[in-house]
Amino acid sequence: MHDRIAVIDFGGQYAHLIATKIRRLNVLAEILQPEDPAEKFAPFRGIVLSGSPALSAYDEDSAYDKRIYELPIPILGFCFGHQEIAKQYGGEVEHTQREYGPATLQVKGSSPIFRGLAPEELVWMSHGDTVTVLPPGFDEIGVSTAKGGPPHQNAAIASDSLRRYGFQFHPEVDDTAHGEQMLKNFVVEICGCRQDWSMRLFGDEEIERIRSQAGNRSVFLLASGGVDSTVCAVLLGRALGPERVDLLHIDNGLMRKSESAQVIAEFAKRGLDRNLHFVDAGDRFLTALSGVTEPERKRRIIGDTFVQVFEEEASRLNLSDCLLAQGTIYPDTIETGGTKRADVIKTHHNRVPVIEKMIKQGRVLEPLAELYKTEVRELGEALGLPDEMVWRHPFPGPGLGIRLLCSDGTGPVEAPGARVSLDRIAGEAGVLGALLPVRSVGVKADLRSYEQPVLLWGDVPLEQVEPLAARIYQEVAGVNRCVFDLRGAGLENARPLAATVTRERLDLLREADAIVMDGLRRHGLYREVWQCPTVLVPLELDGRGREFVIIRPVLSERAMTARPALLTRELLDELRAAILGLPGISGVALDVTTKPPGTIEWE
């Protein structure tokens, strides 16, 4: 039996992130609910109380079993959890100003929870309450200061004798620079957990679980060929034997160049093609999308068509007593994501009504539902899958459908004053800039925005373009993105083209996308880059109806936030030459926008 840490889930995505970070230390973390009785916590070596987006320790009498505080095991709380611990031991919590983002933590004293850390640490805040009165027997072990703000007292508190600790900040987010060390100090030093858990063991346990849930039934899996569904297929194959695993791969006509063929070859290589069903539904998706230009409508049509094809195939194959397996991972199931599209994404894939019904009947297996992408990759490696497969970039369900911008031929109305402030900022930086007469999706202050990109061009190093872009999308009204022209020329006379989803445009985009993917691989950058959408934008520069290509390489860990990957000059030169060599393309630019305000995809 492994040593385990219990994480109480007070809502949002905090608990899962905490569990992930602990598992990364080779210690098993399990998520428990506030309504679980204290007895259930007794076998654990430590308890972590998560933050909460909704609850406030100030005004709520939060419902969880307070008898956990009588257990002789260490407890650590973050944000809401921190305030709960303070309250429990006689401290006070008050509403204060909301604080978001980075802060500097000054470490005080020598508590083991901060062993190995510097006197000042970068931490991430997101809260509106403060522990104003320290509980008796506790010490203030950290004070935080956000940029320009007053010091925040009791940002970290501890009672080493009781083994109770609380942080106002979030050590589980990547932005807390040494959050992992803090978690390690708790889990390993304070709770004494042995670091003997691994993804390989997780895989073995999942295989056992699949066996017992499936009994003697067969399993049917929707296999897109991405990392998640492939890892899932391999687990099912190991658990039940390939003869009891039916795979369905649907080509929606929105896949990358030759992708379906590669996916099928990949399954064949793993011996999983015995019951592989392939449906070429490209024409059907194209017909359903014909004439549609609005991004969310395109998404909905793609999702609905997918479900229809799936249902038809399922009834044709008569799956009435089969289990359905899905490669759902944790971010697919969350209610609210980094963007307001989270529930749209959800309804399109893993939580449509037929599937909901099967979940209720206990007929759905989701062996990866607790994992993030990075963990699925780790599991894929533990299962011995090849790098090429494990490191495959995530690809959205609607595929190239959301990378093929469409338009009725009319451009957006520019925000008043936008052009003047753009000219001023670009001029100061010695570059030129233009508002592109199209729109793309972004997120601003947690809301979906649909605004104009700015194109910049001129003789400046790319490193200087990124901070300039940040200034532009902060200061220029109606702008959520900046792209840098790789031809070094501008397009003052760009005109929007009327364009819809057609096979010709998709084929053109497939070619451009294949050039980019191949370039990333040849230059050894494929793995470092999280995802790299190539986008076809219906903008004409030269009166000949030729379109514009955007390359959007990003660095990210969970796709909730992202930074632009600037690639190398050599690779960019190659990509520019090859893409401009395609008939039908007259321009190419690199997207240099962070998320937020730009999303990873353009639609």
Q: Closest Cα partner for 323 from 314, 333, 331, 313?
A: 314
Q: How far is the CB of 113 from ligand XMP (least distance, A)?
A: 34
Q: Which of residues 163 and 558 has its CB atom nearest to ligand XMP in the complex?
A: 558
Q: Residues 21, 180: contact at Cβ < 8 Å?
A: yes
Does position 600 bind ligand XMP by CB under 6 A? yes
Which residues from 289-328 bind ligand XMP, rule CB under 6 A? 299
Among 46, 396, 437, 597, which residue sits at the site for ligand XMP (rule: CB under 6 A)?
A: 396
CB of 5 to ligand XMP, least distance (A): 29
Check 84, 99, 121, 172 and give the catalytic one.
172
Q: What is the DSSP letter of 134?
A: P
- Only one of the segments 169-177, 264-272, 411-419, 592-600 lies at the binding site for ligand XMP (rule: CB under 6 A); that segment is 592-600
- Using the contact rule CB under 6 A, the part of the chain among 2-10, 353-361, 393-401, 423-431 near ligand XMP is 393-401
Structure token pair of residue 409 = 């031929």
Only segment of 92-100, 220-228, 290-298, 395-403 that touches ligand XMP (CB under 6 A): 395-403
Burial 407-441 (b: 16+ CB within 10 A, else e): beeebbeeeeebeebbeebbeebebbbbbbbbbbb
Cross-strand partners of 537? 548
Classify 549 in phi/psi space as left (phi over 0), alpha (psi -120 to 50) or beta.
beta
Tell me the Ramachandran region of residue 356: left when phi exceeds 0, alpha when psi lies from -120 to 50, beta otherwise: alpha
Give the x/- contact pattern for ligand XMP in 345-384, rule: CB under 6 A: x--xx-----------------------------------
Q: What is the dihedral of CA 174, 180, 181, 184, to 10 degrees?
A: 160
Helix ranges (DSSP H) in 11-69: 14-23
Q: Which is nearer to ligand XMP, 345 or 588 (CB)?
A: 345
- Whether omega before 386 lies within 30 degrees of 0, making that bond cis, reads no
Cα 314 vs. chain centroid, distance in angstroms?
30
Q: Out of 559, 575, 585, 589, point to the residue binding ligand XMP (CB under 6 A).
A: 559
Q: What is the smallest separation between the CB atom of 206 and ligand XMP, expressed in angstroms?
A: 23
Catalytic annotation on 16?
A: no
Rounded to whole angstroms, how far apart are CA atoms 169 and 82?
A: 9
Q: Which of 79, 193, 406, 532 is the catalytic position?
A: 79
Contact stretch for ligand XMP (CB under 6 A) within 124-132, 217-225, 392-400, 483-491: 392-400
CB 46 within 8 A of CB 193: yes
Asked if 439 is part of the footprint of ligand XMP (rule: CB under 6 A), the reply reads no
CA distance 246 to 15: 34
* CA-to-CA dists, residue 59 to 92, 94, 96, 134, 215, angstroms: 11, 9, 13, 18, 48
d(CA 75, CA 38): 13
Q: Catalytic residue at 249?
A: no
Among 135, 253, 398, 453, binds ligand XMP (CB under 6 A): 398
Binding range to ligand XMP, per CB under 6 A, among 9-17, 27-35, 322-330, 594-602: 594-602
Q: Does 531 interact with ligand XMP (rule: CB under 6 A)?
A: yes
Q: Which two tokens stand for residue 77?
A: 């709380």
- One of 121, 172, 370, 601 touching ligand XMP (CB under 6 A): 601
Among candidate residues 82, 170, 178, 349, the one labeled active-site is 170
User: Does residue 222 touch ligand XMP according to CB under 6 A?
Assistant: no
Tell me if residue 79 is catalytic.
yes
Contact string 55-94 vs ligand XMP (x = CB under 6 A): ----------------------------------------
Listed residue (228, 230, 158) closest to 373, CA to CA: 228
- Segment interacting with ligand XMP (CB under 6 A) among 83-91, 104-112, 229-237, 389-397: 389-397
DSSP state of 523: T
Contact between 546 and 585 under an 8 Å Cβ cutoff? The reply is yes
* Separation between Cα atoms, residue 103 and residue 122, nearest integer Å: 6
| Residue 254 vs 590, nearer CB to ligand XMP | 254
Please report, as a single letter, which amino acid is at residue 248: L
Among 551, 564, 557, smallest CA distance to 597 is for 564
Which 333-352 residues touch ligand XMP, going by CB under 6 A?
339, 341, 345, 348-349
Instruction: Determine, following the binding rule CB under 6 A, whether residue 481 of this chain makes contact with ligand XMP.
Output: no
Residues labelled catalytic: 79, 170, 172
Q: Which residues bind ligand XMP (CB under 6 A)?
A: 299, 339, 341, 345, 348-349, 394, 396-398, 531, 559, 595, 599-601
